[in-house]
Amino acid sequence: MMEILLTWLRRLSHWLGFETADSFPPGHPYERTRWNGAYFDIASDVKPEDIERRLCEAISNTPLVFGYIDNPTPRMQRALLAVLEERMRNNRGRATELAVLLVQAYESPHISEIIPGLRSVVDATRGHDPGDRGRAVMAFLGSTQSPFDVIEMG
């Protein structure tokens, strides 16, 4: 009886938004996407579209938080790529640091590739220094035509 009551209270707490969400709900196309709730204060009752929007805003404002997301969605990857592209274009420092975050994300076999060939570049540099891997990704992005103007597929 106590177990049933606790289960019911957990569900009620979730529905009322008293918990912090750390993933999309089961059945969502990106249900494997996880984030560290300590860095993203998102109530459990927030709709998935709004969750993704909030995460993308956080990435745009503080791109290093991308490192606290496992299996980021294509939209989240594009948010990071936009900041990376701006840093590459303006020759601002720490672009390699953001490229390394992208490399780390692509270590997962469950991430959706948003630019054809990006996974191949990441796989080809496996075993290299993280900075070298990041620079290889930046070279790849710089050699592709409009790598940051990727149309959202879903």
Arithmetic mean of pLDDT, 88-109: 90
pLDDT over 60 (residue 154): no
* Extended strands (E) in the chain: 34-35, 69-70
pLDDT over 50 (residue 108): yes
pLDDT over 60 (residue 72): yes
> Apex CA 27: angle with CA 39 and CA 110, to 5°?
65
Q: What is the pLDDT of residues 113-149, one digit of tens each?
A: 999 999 999 999 999 999 999 999 999 998 875 544 5
Entry pTM: 0.81
Rounded distance between C-alpha atoms, residue 98 and residue 84, angstroms:
6
127 Cβ neighbours under 8 A, 6+ residues apart: none
Beta bridge partners of 23: 34
Which pair of structure tokens corresponds to residue 23? Answer: 């993933």
3-class secondary structure for 25-49?
CCCCCCCCCEECCCCCCCECCCCHH
Rounded distance between C-alpha atoms, residue 63 and residue 144, angstroms:
22
Q: How confident is the model at residue 107, as a pLDDT?
A: 94
Question: Tokens 């177990």 sit at which residue?
Answer: 3
pLDDT over 80 (residue 103): yes
pLDDT over 50 (residue 153): no
Beta bridge partners of 43: 20
152 Cβ neighbours under 8 A, 6+ residues apart: 74, 75, 78
